[in-house]
Structure 1
Amino acid sequence: MTRTEFGQAVRRWRDRVSPATVGLPGGGRRRAAGLRREELALLAGISADYITRLEQGRAVSPSAQVVEALARALRLSADERSYLFRMAGLEPPGPEMVPGFITPSVQRLLDRLAGTPVGVYDAAWTLLLANPMYAALMGDPSGWRGDDRNGVWRNFVGPGGRVRHTPEARRAFEAALVADLRATAGRYPADQQVGRLIARLRASSDRFAELWDSGIVGRHEAARKTIEHPQVGPVTLDCDVLSVAGGDLRIMVYTAEPGTDDAERLALLAVLGTQTLLG
């Protein structure tokens, strides 16, 4: 590609995406109807400075992860996504790779769940998208980078999360995560990123290595979970994991039983967002 073709494509597609389309407020004076660089940066998890350098041709050779994040944030079609990869000098991910593409139709479905905590993961349990309610419930993931965005890594090596487990439930949850990741590795044996993730997990966590060597295979299924929220207290919710046919995505949806204290706490979170309660 030339130094500007990739940036021109990003700028062109940024201009056509209205803030309302991606759930952002559209107030204030705007020179164009599309997204500001800062808004695209927020959606893609990339610094605004880097997007500026990409658009101006001062940064070249973006990684596949950056291209995928931009394609997702810009709501590109499959053909547009492939074009963006090629403009970056990369081959679009093939069927042998873990899919990370959220189609516009699935994105529209997610937009209709704005009042429900929803996180979208790929088949290796790397977080692709978290809506504001999910961030409010589970903690803001916008600053997570690299392995920190992977749910298996966070639970075995990283800081974990807000879900409260009994020791027995914790063991079952860990076994389910490892079994699910093993099944994914079997479906995508040529995906080197999955192989490297597994190697890092085995080297960093004795518990993961023990479970991996046991050979378990399975799937992480729906469950009832209690989330220890720092402001509203414990919230017990149903967590359903929905699969997208053809995309191998996991859509994690948290809901409360109507009329319960948990439903009231979830409604309070919708008002609070990710802000901190003032005492």
Structure 2
Amino acid sequence: MDETLGTALRRWRDRLSPVDVGRTSRPGRRAAGLRREELAELAGLSVDYVVRLEQGRATSPSAQVVASLARALQLEPVERDHAYRLAGLLPPQKGTISTHVPAGVQRMLARLGEFPVGVFSADWTLLSWTPAWAAMLGDPSARTQAERNLARAVFASGATGLAAWPVHHDGEALYAALVADLRTALVDYPHDRGLVGLVAELRSTSAEFSRLWDEGAVGPHVSARKTILHPQVGEVTCDCDVLTVPGCDIRLVVYTVAAGSADAEKLEFLGVMNGVGSAPAGPGSFPAP
């Protein structure tokens, strides 16, 4: 019997431990791996659509859906490419930005649910986030992929930010670092049409971006202090660090506060209010076709 996307999804779902995605494996649990409902939540899809995919009744998933499922199932790159082919799609080509988040990074995020952490691709599109990120900055799942791009949120005229409420930060240092990152990404991924379009868009819509780009601005990401004006707890001041993962071109943005501080108490309150610690990292949300 030939393998289909549906049979592959069931096999990959059965082998993934609930603990690896931040779930509690309770005694008496019938499913050794993930339930369909859990996969749907992780991938930002409806349960009905996951059922139809596994049963072969949905036969034309989009590339975004397959990428989201691959992240949720913690597939290795070769498995991710196999999933694309089973869906009748070309795998991501060389010279284009990868949205793959390594399984090790996903397992780490599942265990860091109490910290606000976001995972970004080379063009600064938010791929995944912890529940604490959503609690502190607002849930990104309702935003489109374009709206989850940090550079667009920072520079584009009239664009809404990735945060649902104001965030005060050292703008000049962040602006220079983002421009430098996109310039490097354009060298590394010259055939990525999305990246080329993003740079062209920002050059035409943002005078600040265009100025920094033409000046050849460079700047590394350094630890920064940011103040979030949260509607429930007021000002929360955090240290923000950008971490890179060796071997893959993704960045982790991590917010931390000093233990025992007033800001730590506010984050703890937000965690209690939003059930942080009981949910896995969010991979982003894509509507079922």
Same fold (TM over 0.5): yes
Q: What TM-score range do you get, normalising by the shorter chain?
A: 0.7 to 0.9
2:168 maps to amino acid: H
Kindly state the Cα deviation for residue 14 of structure 1 after the two structures are TM-superposed.
2.1
Aligned to 2:248: 247
Match of 1:267 in 2: 268
Q: Is the 8 A contact 1:183 1:217 kept in 2?
A: no
Does the residue aligned with 1:40 lie in a helix, a strand or coil? helix
What residue is the counterpart of 2:284 in the other structure?
none
Distance change in 2, residues 1:221/1:44 (3 Å): farther
Match of 2:134 in 1: 135
- Map 1:100-139; keep pairs closer than 5 Å: 100-139=99-138
* Larger deviation, residues 85-94 vs 27-36: 27-36
Pairing 1:188–2:189 present:
yes
Find the counterpart in structure 2 of residue 222 from structure 1: 223
Question: Structure 1 residue 274: deviation in Å?
Answer: 6.8
The Cα shift of 1:26 comes to 5.8
CA distance in 1, matches of 2:190, 2:128: 25
Q: TM-score under structure 1 normalisation? A: 0.85
Distance in 2, Cα, partners of 1:253 & 1:262: 15
Distance of 1:30 and 1:201 partners within structure 2 = 50
Alignment of 1:1-279 (within 5 A): 5-24=4-23, 32-157=31-156, 158-160=159-161, 161=163, 162-165=165-168, 169-273=170-274
Distance 1:193 1:176 in 2: 20
From the superposition, tell whether residues 28 and 127 of structure 1 become closer, same or farther in structure 2 (CA, over 3 Å): farther
Q: CA deviation at 1:132?
A: 0.6
Aligned length: 271
Separation (CA, whole Å) in 2 of partners of 1:180 and 1:131: 23
Deviation at 1:125? 0.6
CA–CA distance in 2 between the matches of 1:94 and 1:246?
Answer: 17
Q: Greater CA deviation, 157-166 or 191-200?
A: 157-166
User: With structure 2 as the length reference, what TM-score do the two structures score?
Assistant: 0.82
Work out which structure has the larger RCO, using CA pairs closer than 8 Å and 6 or more positions apart in sequence.
Answer: 2
How big is the shift at 1:124? 0.7
Contact preservation (8 Å) 2:21, 2:107: no
**In the superposition, relative to structure 1, how do residues 118 and 88 fare at CA in structure 2: closer, same or farther (>3 Å)?**
same
The range that moved more, 58-67 or 205-214, is 205-214
Deviation at residue 173 of structure 1 after TM alignment: 2.6
Q: Percent of aligned positions with the same letter in both sequences?
A: 52
RMSD between superposed Cα atoms in Å: 2.7
Q: Do the aligned partners of residues 51 and 208 (structure 1) sit closer, same or farther apart at CA in structure 2, a change above 3 Å counting?
A: farther
CA distance, structure 2, for counterparts of residue 47 and residue 218 of structure 1: 41
Query: Deviation of residue 29 (structure 1)?
Result: 9.1
In structure 2, the residue corresponding to 1:227 is in which secondary structure?
Answer: strand
Please identify, of 217-226 and 258-267, the stretch whose mean Cα deviation from structure 2 is larger. Answer: 217-226
